[in-house]
Amino acid sequence: MTDRAAVKAALKTQAVETPSWAYGNSGTRFKVFTQAGVPRDPWEKLQDAAKVHEFTGVAPTVALHIPWDRVDGHDGYAELAKYAEERGLRLGAINANTFQDDDYRLGSICHPDAAVRRKALDHLLECVDIMDATGSRDLKLWFADGTNYPGQDDIRERQDRLAEGLAEVYGRLGEGQRMLLEYKLFEPAFYTTDVPDWGTAYAHCLKLGPKARVVVDTGHHAPGTNIEFIVATLLREGRLGGFDFNSRFYADDDLMVGAADPFQLFRIMCEVVHGGGFTSEVAFMLDQCHNIEAKIPAIIRSVMNVQEATAKALSVDREALAEAQVCGDVLGANGVLMDAYGTDVRPVLREVREEMGLDPEPLAAYARSGWGRRIVAERVGGRQAGWGA
């Protein structure tokens, strides 16, 4: 049997990092459906993120994206960090962007032109400078680098350029800072992606050193991939840096995590809990684009979905499971896991929220707060909220 008090205690330690870009307008390459009241700058993004944390109690950090969240110089980022702290938040991972400049048409740190590689590396080094100012632990690197046609570039030489660039940035990391390397099977490159899978990311991290870890974005695999196997293996090797949680039906859809396949999310969290990954060493980040749904409630829903999968994973009767596994009791072992998955954990999560001094129903509480109406009135009404509001 599992200890209810222990499950609740663990749930109270949970921390889910929300991404700044999930609060703003975003969409697909076909259309961005803009929404009234979305943040106009990083300061307003933090105002909205503070609401997610206020009503969930487990979303204390916000990932930034450079240049989307660029502010003026070192002092500006220190001001942003202070603004976050005044709202009960901390700034989280710094996400680099080497995929939107025209110069990056043929890649960034894997580009055949050394001058373009230099430009990309200088941006990555700037992101580490920003981490110094914000106190962030993690530099998150996702490279759109790749090729669209056989013969376009040398696959091996691109790996050499990647290794050389990562090594330079790794050497810049300060005490307590980490590099999180994120892989993605395809998109926007369609023939080769220079960091396409967990094996490539893992191999580069091994060469770099202990500060380099892998990020598992749950939308970045071929359909049917056993993601929990990757999670178990990276945890076992001490190289799981974190997650970019979202869900997908077909590709990197960036939908609300748990919305497409809650059973897969449960299986992933089972390996996290079983592998000792339910600690601050693993960053539980969201990476989502809420194109048609209201943003703040969608992020609250995502956080709640991660909590529910975690609560179910914590409810697995590990003794009974191990016993059944050792005996080769296939149905018995599967039954133990399915019993946990079938457990309605909403009551225990309501208790946890009440014990944390929160409303047991975050979405209803947020709706009653009127924040959604207020930001439309304030931000659409033209008052430049900006920082210090």
Q: Which residues bind ligand AOS (CB under 6 A)?
A: 21, 65, 95, 97, 142, 182, 184, 217, 244, 252, 287
Do 237 and 202 meet the contact criterion of CB atoms below 8 Å apart? yes
Do 278 and 310 meet the contact criterion of CB atoms below 8 Å apart? yes
DSSP 183: P
| Residue 45 interacts with which of ligand AOS, Zn ion, none, CB < 5 to 8 Å by class | none
* Choice between 24 and 57, CB closer to ligand AOS: 24
| Residue 65 interacts with which of Zn ion, ligand AOS, none, CB < 5 to 8 Å by class | ligand AOS
Do 180 and 139 meet the contact criterion of CB atoms below 8 Å apart? yes
Contact call for residue 69 and Zn ion (CB under 5 A): no
Contact call for residue 138 and Zn ion (CB under 5 A): no
Residue 240 Ramachandran class (φ > 0 left, ψ -120 to 50 alpha, else beta): beta
* Choice between 63 and 352, CB closer to Zn ion: 63
* Choice between 158 and 184, CB closer to ligand AOS: 184
* Choice between 188 and 238, CB closer to ligand AOS: 188
Contact call for residue 17 and Zn ion (CB under 5 A): no
* Choice between 253 and 339, CB closer to ligand AOS: 253
CB of 99 to Zn ion, least distance (A): 11
Residue closest to ligand AOS when measured from CB atoms: 142
* Choice between 255 and 300, CB closer to Zn ion: 255
* Choice between 170 and 243, CB closer to ligand AOS: 243
Contact call for residue 252 and Zn ion (CB under 5 A): yes
Q: Kindly tell me which residue out of 48, 69, 145, 287 binds Zn ion, with binding defined by CB under 5 A.
A: 287
Alpha-carbon torsion 94, 100, 104, 110, what sign? positive
| Residue 95 interacts with which of Zn ion, ligand AOS, none, CB < 5 to 8 Å by class | ligand AOS
Q: What is the rounded CA–CA span in Å between residue 205 and residue 227? A: 19
Contact call for residue 44 and Zn ion (CB under 5 A): no
Q: What is the rounded CA–CA span in Å between residue 350 and residue 358? A: 9
In Å, how far are 241, 341, 355, 366 from 350, measured between CA atoms?
A: 29, 18, 9, 15
The kind and range of the H/E element at 204 are helix 198-208
Per-residue tokens: 5 = 């008090």
Q: What is the rounded CA–CA span in Å between residue 299 and residue 301? A: 5
CB of 193 to ligand AOS, least distance (A): 10
Amino acid at 105: R
Query: Which 211-240 positions form the footprint of Zn ion (CB under 5 A)?
Result: 217
Q: Kindly tell me which residue out of 244, 266, 277, 336 binds Zn ion, with binding defined by CB under 5 A.
A: 244
* CB atoms near residue 112 (< 10 Å): 14
SS3 call for 197: coil
| Residue 138 interacts with which of Zn ion, ligand AOS, none, CB < 5 to 8 Å by class | none
Interface with Zn ion (CB under 5 A): 217, 244, 252, 287
